[in-house]
Structure 1
């Protein structure tokens, strides 16, 4: 074969004037278009006006001229484009000087062998006319044309078709090269702390890219930079003459003396001893998770307030409103008898509301705190729509103060950190309440760049900086751990937009939650057996509830059977971990259980009952019984569980009579029950039970399927708004009438019915041996150290659920298997 270097006419286009497709295959010496390639725009070292050599399908590009050995063929992978690895296109070998004939022949022969294995080479025009074998390659002319010193060209119809395929290949290689270089540029800018204003499609981002790193600071937003070196003159004039036209940013606003202040007669203060007790309970239940107050400062302000109770007008009305909201939340977690506890919380909330100006146009940090604490209290009172509305007020007033933006150098260290804490507490409640209700988030992550709070407790945080004694824990609250959990909710909401969450994405979320769990104390690990304090379950409820809600999404009817079964198993695993944590608590949950924790225990109980883990389900039922009327959502949960147990028992008995019975030698067929595993598998596939076990998933239009077709039963009408009734009426808080709150049988009946199901139902999966799951007796071993030196007692002995509690007085209308049949 003649060397290409001896051919004065390498492959070239047809010299005729006939019009042909511009995508025809040409050699490296063919005339090049005057338009720059897209790849040259992104590469600084690319030569101008250099065409990329198209490659056949399934063939890697030619190695560079400086490569001495042949690089073997790379097989097709999942990441390759049309059967090729994503490698940058190389320049033409024929146009590169310094390549010997032997090296070129070896490269060409190897490349041709790999190419010949996949499809027949198109022949040049001369070989097609002479009907001889053509050995032309992408870079060299054939030996026939070389020996005859003619141009090796491809202009026939079949060759133009091949050229179109190769043009698509060429464009795909260029696009892949641009993507790769863009990725490198983004990575470089990210390492420099800069931001590249390029819209990245969400579909191209992996789940790991959507999840923020643990304790990572939000990306800083751009700030305008003045062209003047000192705009103080313009600033003074602007501040003076812009009054009434606009407001300066919140950190640079100045109080206006001419504004008429909103002031009303102040409600009377409760006794100082009652206030100290309520602050004590507030600290142990709310402050350890949402430390929005600097506790030493609050204690000092309360002391000053009670030194002169005759002149309450001296206290800022916004602080006074916030103070009553703190007392309301503390009342909800106190151990006062029912209904005194709820009535007093309602009085404090009403006092806080009466000190709130509905037409306020100038907010401060205490206004934001008051709205947030009111939303938190309404959520605990099971008034979720009201909590949602007050949370919107807190979000908007916080954004008016620009708490969502990081402000540097204008405030003290304590005030700066309090702004951060307040904002992240609002962010947490927004994410949690929105996910629970299936509603959109009010806060967009892209709008926020406020830093995380400092990892120090209040009594170590001072104006001059954190000061703490040696060998002392700098942080005892759980705000940072909760923030890491709820920051993943944005990615979860994007995953919920798909009908099915694929296993790789589920695995990414599970890995993130495992990393979040490691930030909690070692006693909170699932494989640990030490006792834990009940207040530890409150922050863990954010983690466990998020994991259950994530996998529960795949229970929808549109999911494949494998995905639905895996969702049940994953939710069951989370429920088992929850029950084991409850069994390891050293006191009752009555004084520390939040509405989120109660709701998660309720969901876990449903999955434990469905999957046949009746002992663990009884543990959850005893925990809910211990909370009782402390949380208004407990009674509705118990009523739903009573209904679910009735349906589950009836379906189980029906399956025992319908399924084929196994034959045992020496016993009649009627005396042998069906295989328990077959019964359990049938229950897991029951569509009606899956609707019930999904519970509050049916509250959202996007995720529910039980309401499909309801418009055919009766015309859809908008219900009339209620006339109110106040916070004190239990019908408003529970959604149940007095009769409905009493006719569900009680917790003892639920525990008895659960154990009855266990006696004649399918056993749990093989290989699992359930422990004796009972809440241990009261054993208060640790408490929350208050800055003032007090110890917050966790739990009270009169509400401790024990295994023997089920043998107490029971209603005569106890539900049983016989009653169900």
Structure 2
């Protein structure tokens, strides 16, 4: 009996060990997904970053149960009208929506727009299998049977043409290039049934491309609304989970489309300061295959020997944007530790290794303009990360370190602009890239880097009206240069009165380092250089406290009933640029802006206002034969704003708001520090 009892005890011990092993395995599996990088272990400051190149954490699938063929057949039959089966097991739904088909554009126009689409959007987001798509277009034009194509496919077709028209160079053969994307988007919209209850991959791709177009047309709120439709449609057909079985081409296009929607969701959330629509825990989709679509066939993926398997940048952009969740979490916290700041910045810098070597700012080889658009996702994130600490609730040393880091990122961006052909920049420039160059120009102007700022402004001038947001950026820069020039005069006069003149000179010399320090601590200029940070409900300090004041007078919008209104905002220059005809011209143009920037070097007594008749357009960025790489100043070693300002992270482990500090309606923070007293005295003077 004793031996039997011993065997039973051993069996119980073995069962207990098995349970413990299973629990440990589950814990290890949970930890294999996102990599915890919280060095301090604080719950409120913890965040996770996915390892670069790692697959998203996979969900557990139920084990297959055999001998359920009869049950599957019954459920498939009798569930109709009650619930939908998983997307891969649904029968193709009947199409009740049959709108009149619009007239197809001329074939040579389609070929031109497809070429522009492939060189721009498709190089970043290859969500359409081009060989199959071109074959279908050939059949469509050869048989002239658009009625045989589904409305969803036609909607996707016109959305592709709209995207291509946005990235086509303007020419004399297309005098109405401003309205061409709007025309194609109207056609795409007419092919979408607003009351549809059954969706396909074509629906998701059409909605996604419309979202992309609206964002490029500077209609961001409209893009945000269409993005919501794209997310819900893609989730309805199960694109957010790795399911199957799907044909090889369709399965790969589903993955790529989902990741494009994910990128748009994260990017618009950072641009508009909105909550994301897609939770990372709900995203159970493998990364796209690292091959171009011409190597994807129904029989599998085959890359010929010696061929370049991958030329698109979708994977590199995905690796960057997957960190946006942690970035958004960090930007919404009231206090971010220096460990978290450096961890995020280090991770984003490592993402640069997923791009070709020519994309490194320290490289000196020529750079193709098409690389700047995907690189914008990386530099945009880094700039937003460091710009966060311009808030007055942070101590002065943290704000100065933030300004210095943003300036360094701007200099890296300019070093990339130096190595490309500026005349080709406009065709591949996106709204995100344009906005990033605009932000860089602001920081370069404030910190006194005149020549790099001129390079950034010339890049914007080469983009010009190719992106609808560019003119508004130029107008804001013109205002900022005017405000900066006035501040430079005030600060220079103050420093001149404070400093004794040199021997033999009647005029005292101006200490440029002291001048830059005063300018960088001016609260008005910091608000201006923070730009769209003041559009955030959470991060803006410009409007703090106004909700407790008397109701502000709101003048009626001048665009409520514009005389030129004909159809909708797609066709309205006022809606797409945010400016009426007077505002779009009153700032003087790019040549006048460059002249004003050049005038900042001499600290003029008055702002130069030469006659507009003498201005000429600035020459394009010359980079056909690039010279040596631009040497970036090591701002981390020698401070741009004086040696008494410590670097971020020195002397403290957390970059937290000033103790006891509080925001006031004017946006200032109260802190009993000597530097703050000097700042207030300078402002009073």
What TM bracket, shorter-length normalisation?
0.7 to 0.9
- Pick from 541, 544, 560 the counterpart of residue 376 of structure 2: 541
* Cα distance in structure 1, aligned partners of 2:275 and 2:291: 32
Match of 2:593 among 745, 750, 753: 750
Contact 1:207 1:508 in 2 (8 A): no
The residue matched to 2:71 in structure 1 has which SS?
A: helix
The equivalent residue for 2:162 is: 328
Residue 209 of structure 1 and its aligned partner are, at CA, apart by 6.2
Q: Does 1:481 align with 2:316?
A: yes
Which SS does the other structure have where 2:492 is aligned?
helix
**Is 1:504 aligned to 2:339, yes or no?**
yes
Q: Secondary structure at the match of 1:518?
A: helix
| Structure 1 unaligned regions, length at least 5 | 1-43, 46-181, 762-772, 781-821
Give the direction of change, closer, same or farther, for the CA distance of 1:453–1:523 in structure 2 (3 Å limit).
same
Q: C-alpha displacement at 1:317, in angstroms?
A: 1.2
Distance change in 2, residues 1:713/1:529 (3 Å): farther
Partners of 2:620 and 2:571 in 1: CA distance: 34
Hey, what's the Cα distance between the residues in 1 that align with 2:79 and 2:625? 64
1:591-602 to structure 2, matched below 5 A, reads 591-602=427-438
Q: Label 1:186 to 1:291 Cα distance change in 2 as closer, same or farther (>3 A).
A: farther
Q: 1-side partners of 2:572 and 2:594: how far apart?
A: 29
SS at match of 1:425: helix
- Structure 1 residue 715: deviation in Å? 4.2
Match runs of 1:183-582 below 5 Å: 188-189=25-26, 191=28, 204=42, 210-225=48-63, 228-256=65-93, 259=94, 261-309=96-144, 311-337=145-171, 340-408=176-244, 410-582=245-417
Q: Which residue in 2 is equivalent to 1:638?
A: 474
DSSP-derived class of the 1:483 partner: helix
1:523 match: secondary structure: helix
1:661–1:675 CA contact under 8 A, matched in 2: no
CA displacement, residues 179-231 of structure 1 (integer Å, 9 cap, x when unaligned): xxx9x9987435557999xx9999646989600001111111133346x5322
Q: Is the 8 A contact 2:159 2:206 kept in 1?
A: yes
SS for the counterpart of 2:188 is: helix
- Residues 1:193 and 1:545: Cα distance change in structure 2 (over 3 Å): closer
- Asked whether the equivalents of residues 419 and 623 of structure 2 are also in contact (C-alpha less than 8 Å), the reply is no
Preserved contact between residue 426 and residue 466 of structure 2 (Cα < 8 Å): yes
- Is the Cα–Cα contact under 8 Å of residues 661 and 674 in structure 1 kept in the other structure? no
Alpha-carbon separation, structure 1, partners of 2:576 and 2:429: 17
- Equivalent residue runs for 1:611-650 within 5 Å: 611-650=447-486
Shift in Å, 1:529:
1.1
Please list the CA deviations of residues 645-688 of structure 1 after superposition, one character each: whole Å capped at 9, or x if unmatched: 000000000001112444455234x5123211101001111111
SS of structure 1 residue aligned to 2:387? helix
Displacement of 1:569 = 0.7
Change in 2 beyond 3 A, CA 1:285/1:208: farther
Q: Distance in 1 between matches of 2:387 and 2:24?
A: 35
Distance, in Å, in 1 between the alignment partners of 2:32 and 2:67 is 27
Task: Indicate the RMSD between aligned Cα atoms, in angstroms.
Answer: 2.8
Give the SS at the match of 1:281: helix
TM normalised by structure 1 equals: 0.68
Any conservation in 2 of the 1:376–1:387 contact (CA below 8 Å)?
yes
Deviations 1:723-776 (A, max 9, x none): 773311100101111100010011111111111112349xxxxxxxxxxx9721
Alignment correspondent of 1:71:
none
Tell me how far 1:240 sits from its aligned partner. Answer: 1.1
In 2 relative to 1, CA 418–719 (structure 1 residues): closer, same or farther, beyond 3 Å? farther
SS of the equivalent of 2:583 reads coil
More helix per residue: 2
Cα contact 1:208–1:508 (8 A) shared by 2? no
Alignment deviations for residues 346-365 of structure 1 (CA, whole Å, 9 cap, x no partner): 11000000111000100000
Secondary structure of residue in 2 paired with 1:742:
helix
* Alignment CA distance shift 1:206-1:517 (3 Å): farther
Q: Please state how far the C-alpha of 1:260 moved relative to its aligned partner.
A: 5.2
- Helix, strand or coil: the match of 2:73? helix
- 2:303–2:309 Cα contact (<8 Å) kept: yes
- Distance in structure 2 (CA, Å) of the matches to 1:192 and 1:222: 11
Alignment of 1:765-776 (within 5 A): 775-776=621-622
The alignment covers a number of residue pairs equal to 583
CA separation in 1, counterparts of 2:27 and 2:546?
A: 51
Residue by residue, what CA displacement relative to the aligned partner does 1:115-173 show, whole Å, maximum 9, x if unpaired? xxxxxxxxxxxxxxxxxxxxxxxxxxxxxxxxxxxxxxxxxxxxxxxxxxxxxxxxxxx
Shift of 1:717: 7.4
Given candidates 582, 605, 627, the residue that maps to 2:441 is 605
Rate the CA distance shift 1:647–1:185 in 2: closer, same or farther, 3 A: farther
Is the CA contact (8 Å cut-off) linking 1:281 and 1:333 kept in structure 2? yes
- Listed as ranges, the matches of 1:156-175 within 5 Å are none
Shift of 1:497: 2.2
Note the alpha carbon deviations across 1:623-653, whole angstroms, 9 max, x for none.
0000111111000000000000000000000
- The structure-2 alpha-carbon separation of the partners of 1:628 and 1:318, relative to structure 1 and needing over 3 Å to count, comes to same
3-state SS, counterpart of residue 548 of structure 1: helix
CA drift at 1:469: 1.9
Distance 1:487 1:288 in 2: 19
Query: 1:389 deviation in Å?
Result: 0.4
Structure 1 Cα separation of the partners of residues 459 and 46 of structure 2: 36
* 2:152/2:191 contact within 8 Å kept: yes
In the alignment, is residue 691 of structure 1 matched against residue 536 of structure 2? no
TM-score, normalised with respect to structure 2: 0.81
Residues 1:304 and 1:601: Cα distance change in structure 2 (over 3 Å)? same
Which structure has more relative contact order (CA 8 Å, sep 6+)? It is 2
Q: Alpha-carbon deviation of 1:719? A: 8.1
Structure 2: how far apart are the matches of 1:475 and 1:673? 58
In structure 1, C-alpha distance between the alignment counterparts of 2:239 and 2:222, rounded to whole Å: 23
